[in-house]
Amino acid sequence: MSKAKTTGNSGKRKPEKGSTPAKGTHQAAGGELHQVAGGGHPALTTNQGVALSDNQNSLRASPRGPTLLEDFILREKITHFDHERIPERIVHARATGVHGYFELTASLKQYTSARILTEVGEKTPVFTRISTVAGGAGSVDTPRDVRGFAVKFYTKEGNWDLVGNNIPVFFIQDAIKFPDIIHAVKMEPDRGFPQSATAHDTFWDFISLTPESMHMVMWIMSDRTIPRSLRMIEAFGVHSFRLINAAGESTFVKFHWRPKLGLQSTIWDETVKITGADPDFHRRDMFDAIAAGNFPEWEFAVQLFTQEQADSFPFDHLDATKLIPEELVPLKVIGRMVLDRWPNNFFAETEQVAYCPSHVVPGIDFSNDPLLQGRLFSYLDTQLSRLGSPNFHQIPVNAPKCPFANLQRDGHMQMAQPVGRVAYEPNSLSDTSPRETPKGFHSAAITETGEKGRIRAESFADHYSQARQFYLSQTAYEQAHLASALVFELSKVEHLHIRETMVGHLIHIEKDLAKRVAAGLGFDSMPAPPVAAAPVKKQPPSPALQIIGKMKDTLMGRAVGILIADGSDGEAIRKIKKAATDAGASVKIIAPKVGGAKLADGSMLAADGQLAGTPSVLFDAVAVILSDKGAKALSMEGAAIDFVRDAFGHLKAIAVDQGGQALLQKANVGQDAGVVDANDRKAFIAAAKTRQWDREKSVRTLA
Quick one: DSSP state of residue 649? Answer: H
Active site (annotated) includes residue 83:
no
In whole angstroms, give the CA distance from residue 28 to residue 438.
53
Distance CA 47, CA 28 (A): 10
Per annotation, catalytic residue among 57, 92, 359, 368: 92
Query: Which residues, including other chains, have CB under 8 Å from residue 105's CB and lie 6 or more apart?
Result: 120, 121, 333, 334, 335, 336
406 catalytic, yes or no?
Answer: no
Q: Which amino acid makes up residue 441?
A: F
Secondary structure of residue 574 in the 3-state scheme: helix
Alpha-carbon separation of residue 102 from 116, 152, 540 (angstroms): 9, 10, 34
Using alpha carbons, list the distances in angstroms from residue 230 to 260, 280, 339, 358: 12, 12, 12, 25
Closest CA to 12 of 47, 33, 37: 37
HSE-up of residue 435 (Cα within 13 Å, Cβ side): 9
Which of 374, 371, 368 shows the shortest CA–CA distance to 250? 368
Distances (CA, A) of 544 to 263, 323, 513, 540, 689: 11, 12, 21, 12, 20
Neighbours of 234 (CB within 10 A): 25
Q: Regarding beta strands 297-305 and 332-341, do their DSSP bridges make them parallel or antiparallel, or are they unpaired? A: antiparallel
How buried is 34 (Cβ within 10 angstroms: 0-12 exposed, 13-18 middle, 19+ buried)? middle
CA 663 to chain centre: 39
Alpha carbons 687 and 595: distance in angstroms, whole number:
30
Beta partners for residue 301, in sequence order:
256, 333
Catalytic residue among 57, 99, 159, 165: 165
Distance CA 458, CA 1 (A): 8
CA–CA gap between residue 222 and residue 537 (Å, rounded): 21
Task: Residue 403: count other Cβ atoms within 10 Å of its Cβ.
Answer: 8
Q: Tell how far CA 622 is from the center of its chain.
A: 29
Instruction: Compute the distance between CA of residue 386 and CA of residue 399 in angstroms, rounded to an integer.
Output: 17
668 CB burial (10 A radius; 0-12, 13-18, 19+): exposed
The three state secondary structure string of 353-367 is: CCCCCCCCCCCEEEC
List strand residue ranges (DSSP E) for 105-247, in order: 123-132, 147-155, 158-165, 235-236, 241-244
Comparing CA positions, the residue from 651, 701, 644, 653 lying closest to residue 675 is 653
User: By the 8 A CB rule, do 565 and 599 touch?
Assistant: no
Let me know if 100 is exposed, middle or buried by CB neighbors in 10 A (0-12, 13-18, 19+): buried
Q: Which residues are marked as active site?
A: 92, 165
